[in-house]
Amino acid sequence: MDSQHAASRLKLECQRQADRLRDAQASNEELRQLVEIQRTEISVLRLEIARLRSALDLARRCRGSAWRPRRARAPAAKAGPGTNPRERLKRQGVSGESLDSQLGGIELTQHEKDDKSKALIRDAINNNQLLQRMEPEQVEQLVACMYSRTVPPGCHVIRQGEAGQHLYVCSEGELEVTQENRSLGSVRRGVAFGELALLYNCTRTASVRGEQGRLMLEQGFSES
């Protein structure tokens, strides 16, 4: 009789432990799903932070000499913050790890250029909100790998919605910036752009093309 009672109690205790284990597993699964949701939300928030930083950088450029708001040819279009770049950041800038992860396994090609062109690229990088915290050796790596090409009037440098594989610096003339066919402004000499799509592995947020009546010379960073 005692043995039957003990067996019943043991069976009941095993059942309780099994129930507790199922509850713990269910709670762990809920927590795992919650963590995944939070990770996704954090990624979205980081992207929005990058966009806001780019918008602030754009506003700063509007007040400077390198970026000039356009006077719309048709309906007036204000230079707005919805354009520009993304990245993987560290202390409000690009970390060495993020740049290395983007360039890992890529055989970089260096291109000859004069000291004036090198200085222009360095200044453009150091004046860019998302690139200015790179290590000096990383800046020099970008400077060495950039090359020049001419952009005919009306020809697109980048198109909104396309994948980004290059970083650019406008070295001569002007480049028109549009978003959803709305004019945002003009990039002029000494401005780096295209970094957000390159560093954050996302599509371009705006289109940039050569201005009417001008030939543009640009510096581009290439993986090939």
Number of domains in the chain: 1
For the segment 6-24, the average pLDDT, to the nearest whole number, is 85
Per-residue pLDDT averaged across 70-98, rounded? 38
Per-residue pLDDT at 43 exceeds 70: yes
What is the rounded average pLDDT of the residues 26-39? 86
| 171 token code pair | 């070295």
User: What does the pLDDT look like over 141-153, one tens digit per residue?
Assistant: 889 888 888 888 8
Q: Which residue has the higher pLDDT, 56 or 22?
A: 22
The CATH number assigned to the domain holding 188 equals 2.60.120.10
The count of other CB atoms within 10 Å of the CB of residue 134 is 22
Assess contact for 215 and 152: CB atoms under 8 A: yes
163 contact partners, CB below 8 Å, separation of at least 6: 197, 203, 204
Residue 74 has pLDDT above 70, yes or no: no
Q: How far is CA 25 from CA 16, 17, 18, 22, 28, in A?
A: 14, 12, 10, 5, 5
The answer to whether residue 14 scores a pLDDT higher than 70 is yes
Does residue 198 contact residue 164 with C-beta atoms inside 8 Å? Answer: yes
Per-residue model confidence (pLDDT) at position 67: 41
> Where does the pLDDT of residue 120 fall: very low under 50, low under 70, confident under 90, or very high at 90 and above?
very high
The CA distance from 190 to 66, in Å, is 6
Domain-embedded: residue 105: yes
Encoded tokens for 121: 């690229």
Domain membership flag for residue 13: no
Name the residue range of residue 163's domain.
41-221
Pairing mode of beta strands 167-172, 191-193: antiparallel
pTM of the entire predicted model:
0.58
pLDDT tens figures, 173-194: 888 888 888 888 888 888 888 8
- For residue 119, pLDDT over 90 is answered with yes
